[in-house]
Amino acid sequence: MANGGAGAIVVTHNSDDPDIGDLLATASGLDLDGPPIGWKRARWEPVWKGNAHLPGRDVLYEIDREVDRHTTVRPSWLRGLADGDPTRLLVASTIWGFGNFSKGLRFLGRMLGGQRSDSAIPDVLADIVSAAKSGASEGFSALFDARGRSRMSHLGIAFGTKLLHFAGYDSPARPRPLVFDARVWRATRRVRGCPDLPSPTGYVRSDQYDAYCSWAEQVADAAMNGIELATVEYLLFDYGGRVRTRV
């Protein structure tokens, strides 16, 4: 990965770029549990076909029930998995992130079957989940080994921070972990008032990720009438899906 700490990138803005307050003004009535995801259990079953030893398959049936009751997989439900089997949390959060995109099958299969350390995958996941409950920086550091490599195959920054978010969001530690993927990063390049952050496709330090989460906490706390912290990340994610990156 490229060294994201080498040289500051100066972000230039156009006159039509919104500021973070403009995004917050659109948050009224937003239901973070409401947006649907694509879900067909049969699409995900092949991950375990011929690989019955891989853990986490039982959560597929719980997702069936969740979707039957709520027509979607609610982030609040995913956060409720944080105190259980961390492998089930990984499987459910990956499915939430990919929906019915077939690319997710490859990612999940390699995450579950691609051990990169001397520890078993459930033990690595348990360590990551535990660290996420201690705060954003601790969780982020736990995703990587001493050489900066992902401790689990395909569990890099984008999907690693999804796991951190669901694992640590309801813990009392601050700042709470948030998703930091390419769409969120694109928004930070265009929205005034956002911190200057390196791309999650390159090298990001734990203190940079912590600064992003701390900034979002401050934005949520300062918002008129108060908003949920996760709303800040969602608004960036939504905006990042509608714009091109400009550096």
DSSP assignment letter at 103: H
pLDDT tens for each residue of 36-87: 888 999 999 999 998 888 889 999 999 999 999 999 999 999 999 999 999 9
pLDDT tens for each residue of 146-161: 999 999 988 999 999 9
For the segment 109-116, the average pLDDT, to the nearest whole number, is 77
From residue 206, how far is each of 142, 144, 161, 177 by CA, in Å? 10, 10, 11, 11
What is the reported pLDDT for 139? 98
**Residue 85 CB-half CA count within 13 A:** 11
Phi-psi region of 171 (alpha: psi -120 to 50; beta: other; left: phi over 0): beta
Q: Is 233 helix (H, G, I), strand (E, B) or coil?
A: helix
From residue 5, how far is each of 8, 114, 221 by CA, in Å? 7, 29, 28
Confidence band of 13 (pLDDT split at 50, 70, 90): low
Nearest alpha carbon to residue 140 among 116, 168, 119, 171 = 168
For the segment 92-107, the average pLDDT, to the nearest whole number, is 88
DSSP per position, 204-215: --HHHHHHHHHH
What is the reported pLDDT for 102? 80
From residue 20, how far is each of 147, 188, 223, 244 by CA, in Å? 35, 9, 10, 17
The residue to which tokens 């956060």 are assigned: 79
Phi, psi of 10 (to 5 degrees): -85, 125
DSSP assignment letter at 77: H
230 has a pLDDT exceeding 70: yes
The residue to which tokens 């080498």 are assigned: 6
pLDDT tens for each residue of 166-221: 999 999 999 999 999 999 999 999 999 999 999 999 999 999 999 999 999 999 99
For the segment 219-234, the average pLDDT, to the nearest whole number, is 92
Q: Cα torsion at 170, 172, 175, 180 (round to 10°)? A: -20
From residue 64, how far is each of 41, 86, 205, 224 by CA, in Å? 7, 19, 37, 38
Give percent of the chain with pLDDT exceeding 70: 91
- CA dist 16 and 14 (Å) reads 5
What is the reported pLDDT for 8? 37
Confidence band of 101 (pLDDT split at 50, 70, 90): confident
DSSP assignment letter at 19: B
Could you tell me the pTM of the whole model? 0.90
Confidence band of 246 (pLDDT split at 50, 70, 90): low
165 has a pLDDT exceeding 90: yes
What is the reported pLDDT for 5? 36
Say how many C-beta atoms besides its own lie within 10 A of residue 3's C-beta.
11
Confidence band of 3 (pLDDT split at 50, 70, 90): very low
